[in-house]
Structure 1
Amino acid sequence: PHPLACLRQLDRIAELAPANAKPLARLLAERRGELRWGQTYSEADFGKGFIDNYGWLEVFGTRGHFVNDEVAAGLLILGPDVVYPDHHHVAEEIYIPLTGGTEWRMGEGGFRTREAGEVIHHASDVSHAMRTGKEPLLALYIWRGGPLAAKSTITGTTVQGKD
């Protein structure tokens, strides 16, 4: 087990999750202290506010409970009022938010609010960013191709909140 500060968001996430995601959100909230949560970044990368509100649980992949070096999948938590700045990576990525209301940007476009259950695809090396509003995000992620445990290349600002 690896506890993180962001896990305090799981109770609210369980309240916000739609009916089809609620059992998973409740299970994560109940078992949060038994799972190996991780962070790719450190406080030096983005500051304490980001790190205290960010974490992931890799279910399978190079760091997952089930080892796989071709595909990684797990769950991402972002607390309220967090900006995950523009970044890109070799791995292709798919997100499915399990809570709604987070804004997502891809390429040079603007931010767009996405709802729970939408499929968000980021092709290899395409810049993308996310920002939460007043509520936290829980999202399923799937990565394939490229180095699955590598840090992303950050190209955006790390200022918290809305711009």
Structure 2
Amino acid sequence: MTQSAALHTLLDAAKAWHSALPALSEFVHWPQDLTYTERPPHALPHIAHLTAEPGVASAVSTPLRDAIITAAPYIEWRHTYTEEEVGRDFLNRFGWFELAGPDGHFITNEARLTVGFWGANLHYDWHQHEPEELYSVVSGHGQFMIEDQDTLTLGPEGTRLHLSNQPHALTTTDATILTFVLWRGAGLADPPRMSP
């Protein structure tokens, strides 16, 4: 399989997921200006965890989970944070990529569509960013925290909205979590930052 074939198959699965969950399609429309661009694959240690233990998916989310796993060797995986900020164990079992956006495998300025994976028993500390964000859980489960709001434990098809610059955090317990994340608004190309 070529990178182009793997990424286009993944894009189709993501579009179907976007259509299947009203919260996603209501949050942002599917970008109409998508342009594929070749990016060199960048492997990270978490791929072994993703492949071995991607987490339980629903009937609706299984096609997207499986498309992500199939495309994993062709993806430009990234880390946003340094070892000093999050620790080596976190970096070994975490990774994300931009499927579509200003700097993605598919270029668009209409939204940012990313995928993130966290291994079991990890804490993604308080952070924030200018764009509004909607998380959707593809497989596994995790605890989603927002300042001054109840913590929600979400599994496949669960969603959580984060407002602009609203501090939030994520914790996994006995399972991994694989997420599909949408950003909208100003600052799409900017990275998140740890909250003060």
TM normalised by structure 1 equals 0.86
Q: Distance in 2 between matches of 1:31 and 1:134?
A: 25
- Gap regions ≥5 residues in structure 1: 157-163
Query: Which has the higher Rg, Structure 1 or Structure 2?
Result: 2
Q: Distance in 1 between matches of 2:130 and 2:168?
A: 12
Q: Distance in 2 between matches of 1:96 and 1:141?
A: 6
Matched to 2:63, the amino acid is: P
Matched to 1:32, the amino acid is: A
- Which structure has more helix as a fraction of its residues? 2
Q: Does 1:7 align with 2:83?
A: no
Alignment equivalent of 1:75, drawn from 115, 136, 148:
115
Q: Name the counterpart of 1:149.
A: 189
Deviations 1:81-117 (A, max 9, x none): 1111111111100010112430001122342211210
Q: Distance in 1 between matches of 2:193 and 2:117?
A: 20
- Gap regions ≥5 residues in structure 2: 1-40
Q: 1:149 to 1:49 in 2, by over 3 A?
A: farther
1:1-163 → structure 2 map (5 Å cutoff) = 1-11=41-51, 12-13=53-54, 16-155=56-195
- Identity across matched positions, percent: 27
Q: Name the counterpart of 2:37.
A: none
Which runs of 4 or more aligned residues in structure 1 lie more than 6 Å from their structure 2 counterparts after TM superposition?
none
Q: Distance in 2 between matches of 1:146 and 1:124?
A: 9
CA RMSD of aligned residues (A): 1.7
Corresponding pairs, count:
155
TM normalised by structure 2 equals 0.73
